[in-house]
Amino acid sequence: MKDSIGSKKSFIQDLFSEELYYNIKVREYIIGGVFAILVLFMVINLFIFADVGPNPEAARNTFIGLLVLLVIIVLRSFSVRKIIERKKKLVKKNIRRLRYINAILESTIPSVAIILLTFFLKPIVAVNSPAVFLYFIFIFISILDLEFKVCALAGFIAAIQYLFISLLFLDSYKEATELPIFVLPLSYIAKTVILLVSGFAAGGVAHHLKNKIVRSLETLQERNELEKIFGQQVSKEVVDEFINNKLEITSKKRNVSVMFLDIRNFSKFCEGKSPEEINKYQNEVLGFMIEEVNRNSGIVNQILGDGFMATFGAPVEYDNHTQNAVSAALQIVNELNKKNENGEILKTNIGIGIHTGEAFTGNVGTQDRQQYSITGNTVIMAARLEQLNKEFNSSVIVSKDVIEKIKDVNHSSLGNVNLKGFANPIELYRLT
């Protein structure tokens, strides 16, 4: 059990690491794309607006300085993307650590831009310039790290750095303006709080996305486990019920209804036929029959060359499994008759036996390869009933236990019949 849980966690961790690795590449694409657009914007500004204003030289130097910084960021994004692709194993191994390093470095970029602006512009202009909005770009992108702490760290670094820079030049602001909104520390503290809160907000979104991804991966793992046990012989509805209700496959006794179905004279049909012809016939005939079983919440435990065994009421337990088994049998017979009449398939006759009662259910096999198995007298009796269809020239035979649990189904008694392996005669009924 512990090995199974450990394997499940390892599977989810591996897939989640793959998702984080993909997100790191995506974030570099986004950063590269966003800053490439800003580079283009700065080039346009350099040629159109650089000579506008009282100090054209300072404006030109500002545009050039910012342009160089933006180009460096674009080149850095391109280089990081290449390294990520070449060093995939190393990146995935250290991916959690890299997220925090990225958050610190990227949140520092806007601070560098603001400090750079103070060399060409008045500090009050720099700390209130559009460069401040770069903080929000990186806080927003940190959501891709799918970790609340990383986003909160990005917001915290941005807030502390902006507060430090804005208060560092506070005394010089009074020389530039007397407007309280630019002079009072409260204005910059408010912006700091907004940056900090933005980090927490981004963290909340990241945490929500992470939980959704983990739940999706857990669902995928559960589906894989069910398919490993049942193969493709279980309906989507049964799988969904297992996952949605957090059901477990346990070995235990339970009441089930078992159906055995056999195609009459299959061996004779196979004489002189190629394997391709036989397989085509099996798919045409057994295909729609298995669909009817699935439609009535049953599972096909075994597919034999000329028939199958199906169970109703396990592994998902429900009260009306006997009614479902009978409904599936009658629908199979009706659909088969239609196909025979329309010439859709070669003339085919079948025999079905159904019994309901206690059986032992559970997994058989190794951890890597398991099969859901149903054993007990209920299974043996259902198989015996199917074989009796030849003797009574019928299509569906059921036991008295089945008749007692179904409604609105026409039936006729076959009397008490001796069955091989059973000491006492069994009262049987014919449905068709």
* Interatomic CA distance for residues 142 and 150, integer angstroms: 7
Tens digit of pLDDT for each residue in 124-181? Answer: 888 888 889 999 999 999 998 888 999 999 999 999 999 999 888 887 777 766 676 7
Instruction: Please give the average per-residue pLDDT across 299-308, as a whole number.
Output: 85
CB atoms within 10 A of CB 61: 15
Q: Which residues have CB under 8 Å from 186's CB, separation 6+? A: none
**pLDDT in the model for residue 302:** 83
Tell me the range of 40-44, 55-59, 159-163, 375-379 where mean pLDDT is highest: 159-163
Q: Does residue 430 surpass a pLDDT of 90?
A: yes
pLDDT digits (tens, 9 = 90+) for 49-65: 656 555 667 667 777 77
d(CA 12, CA 219): 10
Token pair of 381 as six digits: 């009796």
pLDDT at 9: 62
Residue percentage of the chain with pLDDT more than 70: 84
pLDDT above 90 (res 396) = yes
How far separated are the first and last CA of the chain, in Å rounded? 47
242-270: pLDDT as tens digits = 556 555 556 678 899 999 999 998 888 88
The residue with greater pLDDT, 178 or 301, is 301
Instruction: Tell me what pLDDT residue 326 has.
Output: 95
Percent of the chain's residues with pLDDT above 90? 31
pLDDT at 321: 92
CA pair distance 195, 154, nearest whole angstrom: 9
pLDDT at 239: 59
Categorize the per-residue pLDDT at 15 as very low, low, confident or very high, splitting at 50, 70 and 90.
confident
Q: Please say if the pLDDT value at position 6 is more than 50.
A: no
Q: What does the H/E/C string look like for the chain?
A: CHHHHHHHHHHHHHHHHHHHHHHHHHHHHHHHHHHHHHHHHHHHHHHHCCCCCCCHHHHHHHHHHHHHHHHHHHHHHHHHHHHHHHCHHHHHHCHHHHHHHHHHHHHHHHHHHHHHHHCCCCHHHHCCCHHHHHHHHHHHHHHHHCCHHHHHHHHHHHHHHHHHHHHHCHHHHHHHCCCHHHHCHHHHHHHHHHHHHHHHHHHHHHHHHHHHHHHHHHHHHHHHHHHHHHCCCCCHHHHHHHHHCCCCCCCEEEEEEEEEEEECCHHHHHCCCCHHHHHHHHHHHHHHHHHHHHHCCEEEEEEECCEEEEEECCCCCCCCHHHHHHHHHHHHHHHHHHHHHHCCCCCCCEEEEEEEEEEEEEEEECCCCEEEEEECHHHHHHHHHHHHHHHHCCCEEEEHHHHCCCCCCCCEEEEEECCCCCCCCEEEEECC
Q: Is the pLDDT of residue 31 over 90?
A: no
Average pLDDT across the chain, whole number:
82
Residue 103 has pLDDT above 50, yes or no: yes
Model confidence at 224: pLDDT above 70: no
The sign of the CA dihedral 419, 423, 425, 431 is negative
Identity of the amino acid at 354: I
Q: Are 321 and 356 in contact (CB under 8 A)?
A: yes
pLDDT at 203: 94
Higher pLDDT, 213 or 111: 111
- What's the whole-number mean pLDDT along residues 287-303? 89
For the ranges 26-40, 171-185, 333-347, the one whose mean pLDDT is highest: 333-347
pLDDT at residue 243, as a whole number:
58
Average pLDDT over residues 27-39: 86
Sign of CA dihedral 8, 14, 17, 23: negative
What lies within 8 Å, CB to CB, of 261 at 6+ separation is 289, 307, 308, 309, 310, 329, 332, 350, 351, 352, 386
